Structure 1
Amino acid sequence: MRFTVVAVLAGLCALALAYPEQKITNKQFLERQRDVLRLFRHVNQPSYYKDHVEIAQSYNIHGHYDYYTKPEVAKHYYQIYKYGLLPRGEVFSVFYEEHLQQAIALYKLFYYAKDFETFYNTAVWARQHVNEGVFLYALSVAIVHRPDTYGIVLPPIYEVYPYYFYNNEVIQEAYRYKQQYYGQQVHQGGQEHGNYNGYTIRANYSGHYLNLHPEQSLSYFTEDVGINAFYYYYNIYYPHWLGGQDFDYEHDQRGEQYYYVYQQILARYYLERLSNGFGEIQTFNYEVPFETGYYPSLQYPNGLQFPTRPNYAHLYEYFYNYGQRYGNNKYAYSYTYVQDYERRIREAIDRGYVYTHEGQRVNLYSEDGINVLGNLIESNPDSPDRHYYGALHVYARHLLGYSYQPLNKYHVAPSALEHYETSLRDPAFYQFYKRIVLYFQRYKARLPSYTEQDLYYQGVEVKNVEFDRLVTYFDYFYSDLSNAVYVTPQEQEHEKVQVRARQYRLNHKPFTYKIYVNSDKEQQAVVRVYLGPKYDEYGRYFNISQNRLNFVEFDHFKYELKSGENVIERNSHQNYFYQNDRTSFRELYQQVLGALNGNGEFTVNNNEAYFGFPRRFLLPKGTYGGYEYQFYVIVSPYVPYKGQENYDHAKYYYPRVGSGAQHIDNYPFGYPFDRPIHYDQIYHNTPNSYFYTAKVYHRHADDINASTGSHH
């Protein structure tokens, strides 16, 4: 039996002991961090920094082909630049082929720059001449993959591009403040938090003005800036178009990871649904009207509104009978493509093999089969045949997003599903990826089921589990909106315009938990903790075998068991798959300047320099009277991950993407819930595992602050 695991949906980070926080004193690194941050400031307008203006005017790709390790990449980009790129000010989406090819070409130009100086000069040139969305995306992907920018912290995307994270009334209020009140010292209400010397805007979620469907009551989860930032950064580290010869993801088990990330997103969403009285994520049929409408409440920087999908949308009629232009616009055929690609995927799973583009047969029910299937469904460069099995998710996003068909390739109106920053806002996202996860389950149903012996750890017994009282609440979160408004050169230089959003976000009280384990000898073990439902929305008990896909990986760590009794104590800040709120753009920049000037220090947090699910969403909301969930703990023998044999953990601040360093052990993703178990009692009768029932209580923040004891 083969074992391969990566951590949960949240960033797949390794142990904190292996990747501690790093206090950076290296001047070269600090200067690079400062220079990179400046590239992200007010990205929707030309940069006014004097060195940026000079470099943009003097640097010429045409005269510097030999500055790139692959000169042909620079020549190609110069050709398409002269031919005509997506103009500045136009909407960019990675899910439009013409846009994506320009972004890939720019990424390669960045990635193959011979040294940091060339990379930086190229980035500054592109900052002034290339479409803002293309530049932002290609630059971000290049930074997290280039060896000489390893460790550089990307600023929060919701502060770089607030338009995709805050409703249009928030952005409009920021515009109004800039126009009406700039020049006055502090507008009324501007000093509500600490010593902030700017204007604060209260931000609501969609549904504040228009609510199309009851499921919009979950908008505090689906539209959370941290959750959507997590999904964006995950796709920056693992773009669906990157791999193969350009970048080696072999050690990361990229295809299998693709499945597990989406399965975990759906499981976490389902836990939140239960707290709000909703049940299973809906399924849909392409021939039946799509029930769940969506009103994004977002607008693009150029003023274009995000498309809206009505309730009971007729997908087949929308693309066939409503005057869409066909011609060479392949997205008009999305309705046909999604059904063709899904049929081919089903046939491959049922037959048990796929064919490469050259006609070579690949067995799906082999050691690497799940990884092959994941690459195939994602349609990444490691897919056996990207053309035949197709980019299902690309066409499904066009179809379900109800986006308008473009008049030409440069005038597009993408839906929320057609941006990583906004995908999770739309309920259709979860309904579509439920279909994807069920295809994987169709595959896994043919794998051998786990037996009691597969789960058993001889000589180890989990005697008890204890959790503190679990309480959630909403608290205020502040986010800088300054990049949403346009500034003059003087305003940019002195950072005079300060405006921010204040929004309620879910959080939880800190808590600890203990796991009591008996071991007959000293040995290395690995501990997994899952959180899942115990009852459905009607209060009916869930059989674990039926319910296993609804468990979220809560914690996962290596532990040295001693002979006899072991008391493993953990707290809510030790689950390394979760990330604290990102440092704001302004504070990040000030920390770097302070470290360069000797007036402070800059610390690279192992989570913040990578990516992760928001720690504040560690628990589902629960209810006032307490919603009952259950934890599952299993202790297993530690099996080192084979792909880390040549990896030097001490050399890096955090796991290097593509290295496999984020693997904690060598078990399957989601073990032991990754495969069916025919007899439910196997879970309960395994001595090295334990079920613990706990209620999650929801309280008002004022009640939390006023109380010193238990909440009743």
Structure 2
Amino acid sequence: MKFLLLALFAVAAASATYTGGKVDLPHKQQAILQLLWKVHIPIQDEELYQIGMQYNPIQHVQQYKELSLQQVQEIVEHVHEHKILSKEGVFNAFEEKHMQEAKHLFELLYFSKNFETFHKTALWAREHYNPGMFVYALTTAVIHMPYEQVDFRGITLPKLYEVLPNLYVPSKAVRKGYEAQYTKTTPVVTIDKYSSKHMKVHNEEALLDYFTEDMSLNAQQSMWHKSFPYWWNRDVYQHENDRQGELFLYVQHQLLNRYHLERIANRLPTVHTLPTEGQTIQHGYAPKSVYSNGQFMPTRPDYVRELAYEGSHYVQAKDWIYRIRSAIDAGYLFNNAEEQIMLNSTHGLDILGRIIQGSNQQYKPEYYGQLYNWAHKYYGRIADPHQKYSQVPSVLEHFGTAPRDPLFYRIQKTMNVMYKRYKDLLKPYTQEQLSFPGVQIKAVKVVGESRSSTPNTLTTHFEDHEFDLSNVQNHEQTEVKGLVSRLRHEPFQYAITVQSKVNKQAFVRIFLAPKYDYLGNKYELNEKRWYAVEMDKFVTDLKVGQNTIRRASSESTIVKKEVDTYRQMMMKVEQEIHNGQQEYTTKTHSHCGWPLHLLLPKGTQQGEKYTLYVVITDYDQDRVPETQIPKEHTSYALCGLHHDAKYPDNKPLGYPFDRRIEHEQKFFQYNMKAVDITIENVQ
């Protein structure tokens, strides 16, 4: 097994140079996997290496759509004159210069007219660009590539924590990985990431590290931001990411709510917003990880004081917050043409979300700022604000590692307060907006798949997860496996009984909300609705009479299914190419989506109480013209559909729990049902 992947890559290289014509999906998949394998060293195949060293985009400028000779020359000259981030540097997604360089590389890839150009450009970039920057640009291009140029539908990107494992595992795991190249066996490195499971806890935030340190959770944060980049310009890239601003606020809201459910299960209070000037940040963070260049990720001690320092834009950021809040309260803002734009309930939230994310180009971006990006950069550097010790980027300065730091959730809470402020100014839904005439939910039940399962009682447990750790070291032939314990749940099924007087398609919306706070006090409906976590959203057919809807937890449109390890993917693709039968790569894969294994909160050993809500609405009213929900599994609920496809639900995200509920009796309709469930964490 140790030498198998090397042999497979050798076979791949023989057919991995493309000279025009149509390239099938297995060969595209093979090429992407090869490009992302051991990115910190030159590609090992000599032919591909020579292409990367000899290819010059300037000589093929006609193969780049929308890019002028001057633009391509500028990009290439910056590379050859070493004006870009060095290979030994650390790519920082919140550093303006770094992101500008990454965008230039993305554009070379994105505007490639065919796969041959894309592949050769990627090989060239792999040998000349910083590895972190290369991975960012390449994976973002694969997600967004126009189908008419290079059709990447069906491509599976490997797990980010297998491509760049140094960002996720402790330094001692890296050391063990390097030691593996001197042995003849395949080592399995056990990752003791979770102090709450293996040692005495001295920091209350460590009780949550099974969640915050989960590698798939962190990778999802990275993939969402690649799917909806803050720098995306629809005029330049010629397609729109529909409802990007609203999705940004909602996805971060959902992440914060899941974090809140874990805090309740561990008897921790609600997270606070960011401190004000002069206050201290109570909890520090020690990632214990080391970059591939040997520099350790910075540690932030407890009680670091918030302060304005030179170049921090601290005062300016406070002005941004004031201006955004003022716009929310006034109900309008101004665009670049000084026209008054109403923040109505149709498009207002999308505008607000784009402003906070920093993806706003139309509404006075200098005036409203880039609050979210600023917060990551400012708080990421707060332990060494004056760069006295030349601190490298912290975990907060990468989309894919920020959730590891408890301070990240205070950033989220601060943005979330503005989101709630906007929503609370909207009128509550009317009975007409909530009801579905002729449809009544009679019963709701959830049942685990095992025969011993008790209805409406679900279980979670910790289970070892094996992943490919080979990229933690640079020896081509050495295989290293990682083993980490992570939260999982028993697969379960929803059983929903519906009485209908009409034959209609319906949208089924499922939410999970806490029943009690961390002290055991019962939540009022208007409190708990803001902490509701969306579990699933799907379309079903209702017939006149009684309908029983059964839905497996694994079918959720919230989640992204687990993909194979790097080696498994490569072997299956090679087998496909060898046999000439396309089976593995015909499946549709979602690049973005909530990790399936984290669909449920941990609960407690005694059993934590939650409320499950099911809401059924009229699909004829909810459907979006000319947009079809894919029949195959896709995590569109949090990630949209992309490539100019409209989000396939015209209801506000989070409906009907996104607005104030003033009267519980007026809120509940026949097309809604609430049931109490228990989640037990079993040893």
TM-score by length of 2: 0.89
Kept in 1, the 8 Å contact 2:495–2:551? The answer is yes
Q: Secondary structure at the match of 1:292?
A: coil
Distance 1:560 1:653, change over 3 A: closer
The CA distance in 2 between the partners of 1:506 and 1:51, in whole Å, is 44
Question: What is the Cα deviation at residue 36 of structure 1?
Answer: 1.2
Kept in 2, the 8 Å contact 1:259–1:374? The answer is yes
Aligned mate of 1:278, from 248, 251, 268: 268
The aligned residue for residue 479 of structure 1 is 467
> Residues 527-566 of structure 1 correspond to what in structure 2 (within 5 A)?
527-566=508-547
> Residues 27-426 of structure 1 correspond to what in structure 2 (within 5 A)?
28-72=24-68, 73-83=71-81, 84-146=83-145, 147=147, 148=150, 149-178=152-181, 180-181=182-183, 184=184, 186=185, 198-205=186-193, 207=195, 213-247=203-237, 250=240, 252-287=242-277, 288-316=279-307, 319-320=308-309, 326=310, 332-365=311-344, 367-401=346-380, 402=382, 404-405=384-385, 413-426=392-405
The CA distance in 2 between the partners of 1:633 and 1:651, in whole Å, is 23
Distance 1:158 1:651, change over 3 A: closer
Cα deviation, 1:84-110, whole Å, max 9, x if unaligned, reads 211111111110011111000111111
Cα deviation, 1:105-154, whole Å, max 9, x if unaligned, reads 11111111121111111110110111111111111111111121333211
Distance 1:621 1:484, change over 3 A: same
The aligned residue for residue 436 of structure 2 is 457
The CA distance in 1 between the partners of 2:113 and 2:84, in whole Å, is 24
Distance 1:299 1:400, change over 3 A: same
Question: What is the Cα deviation at residue 608 of structure 1?
Answer: 3.3
Letter in 1 for 2:649: D
Question: What is the Cα deviation at residue 601 of structure 1?
Answer: 5.1
Which shows bigger deviation, 153-162 or 268-277? 268-277
TM-score by length of 1: 0.85
Kept in 2, the 8 Å contact 1:37–1:155? The answer is yes
Kept in 1, the 8 Å contact 2:498–2:548? The answer is yes
Query: Which segments of 5 or more consecutive residues in structure 1 lack a partner in the other structure?
Result: 1-25, 187-197, 321-325, 327-331, 701-712
Kept in 1, the 8 Å contact 2:562–2:596? The answer is yes
Distance 1:479 1:648, change over 3 A: closer
Question: What is the Cα deviation at residue 283 of structure 1?
Answer: 2.7
Give the superposed CA RMSD. Answer: 2.5
Q: Determine what percentage of the aligned residue pairs are the same residue.
A: 32
Kept in 1, the 8 Å contact 2:126–2:134? The answer is yes
The CA distance in 2 between the partners of 1:341 and 1:609, in whole Å, is 35
Question: What is the Cα deviation at residue 237 of structure 1?
Answer: 1.0
The size of the alignment, in residue pairs, is 639
Cα deviation, 1:191-222, whole Å, max 9, x if unaligned, reads xxxxxxx1101101154689663111111101
The CA distance in 2 between the partners of 1:115 and 1:123, in whole Å, is 12
Aligned mate of 1:619, from 600, 622, 625: 600
Kept in 2, the 8 Å contact 1:307–1:404? The answer is no
Kept in 2, the 8 Å contact 1:472–1:622? The answer is yes
Letter in 2 for 1:112: F
Kept in 2, the 8 Å contact 1:640–1:665? The answer is no
Distance 1:527 1:248, change over 3 A: farther
The aligned residue for residue 677 of structure 1 is 661
Letter in 2 for 1:100: M
The CA distance in 1 between the partners of 2:439 and 2:304, in whole Å, is 55
Letter in 2 for 1:689: M
> Residues 631-646 of structure 1 correspond to what in structure 2 (within 5 A)?
631-639=612-620, 643-645=624-626
The aligned residue for residue 709 of structure 1 is none
Cα deviation, 1:522-547, whole Å, max 9, x if unaligned, reads 12211111011011111111011112
The CA distance in 1 between the partners of 2:32 and 2:260, in whole Å, is 38
The CA distance in 1 between the partners of 2:172 and 2:255, in whole Å, is 29
Question: What is the Cα deviation at residue 681 of structure 1?
Answer: 2.7
Distance 1:505 1:446, change over 3 A: same
Kept in 2, the 8 Å contact 1:591–1:602? The answer is no
Aligned mate of 1:429, from 404, 408, 411: 408
Q: Secondary structure at the match of 2:508?
A: strand
Question: What is the Cα deviation at residue 276 of structure 1?
Answer: 1.3
Distance 1:436 1:374, change over 3 A: same
Q: Secondary structure at the match of 2:333?
A: strand
Letter in 2 for 1:473: H
The CA distance in 2 between the partners of 1:275 and 1:209, in whole Å, is 19
The CA distance in 1 between the partners of 2:436 and 2:629, in whole Å, is 30
Letter in 2 for 1:160: V
Cα deviation, 1:365-417, whole Å, max 9, x if unaligned, reads 25311111111111114451222111111221122222545869xx7611111
Distance 1:428 1:463, change over 3 A: same
